């Protein structure tokens, strides 16, 4: 069993009552650990829906050509392994350049080519001049 921590929060009594009724309706009772389980599930869903909202608001064009998609996945894997990213989302430009130079070669023209292809096929978006967001 995973270690758990206590989370003390103040919520509206009406919301508390509705939540307890929901749990009782779903499980037939409000037993030991059921409220904690449902709160944990609700928080996980809330975090997952709010973490990537910016990426969801962007209209995605058709899938990129297979080689661009492959290189994107290779770059993301390299960033996870080398820099320890759990989720590759917003990344400094120099990390992407290091990944591309390691995977495709150190020539500036090659790096520029792949960055332009990533932009063309909407694989990346510039957040700032030095930060890239993978879509």
Interval 56-67: pLDDT, tens: 555 555 555 778
Which of 40, 43, 134 is closest to 87 using CA atoms?
134
126 falls within a domain: yes
Name the domain count of the chain: 2
* Same domain as 99, residue 37: no
Looking at 12-16, 39-43, 64-68, which range is the least confident one?
64-68
6 falls within a domain: no
- Distance from C-alpha of 52 to C-alpha of 63, rounded to nearest angstrom: 19
Beta bridge partners of 134: 124
* Same domain as 44, residue 61: no
8 falls within a domain: no
Residues in the chain: 135
30 falls within a domain: yes
* Same domain as 129, residue 75: yes
Can you give the C-alpha Rg of the chain in angstroms? Answer: 22
Q: 24 lies in which domain range?
A: 13-51
117 falls within a domain: yes
Looking at 14-23, 38-47, 109-118, which range is the least confident one?
38-47
* Same domain as 128, residue 71: yes
* Same domain as 73, residue 22: no
Global pTM exceeds 0.75: no
* Same domain as 116, residue 70: yes
């Amino acid at each position: 069993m995973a270690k758990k921590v206590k989370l003390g929060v103040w919520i509206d009594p009406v919301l508390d009552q509705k939540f307890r009724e929901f749990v009782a309706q779903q499980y037939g009772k409000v037993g030991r650990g059921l409220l904690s389980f449902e709160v944990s599930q609700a928080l996980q869903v809330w975090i997952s829906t709010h973490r990537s909202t910016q990426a969801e608001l962007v209209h995605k064009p058709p899938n990129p050509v297979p080689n661009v998609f492959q290189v994107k996945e290779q770059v993301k894997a390299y960033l996870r392994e080398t820099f320890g990213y759990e989720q590759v989302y917003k990344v400094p430009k120099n990390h992407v350049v290091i990944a591309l130079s390691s995977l495709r070669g150190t020539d500036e023209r090659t790096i520029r080519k792949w960055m332009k292809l990533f932009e063309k096929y909407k694989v990346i978006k510039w957040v700032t001049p030095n930060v890239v967001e993978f879509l």
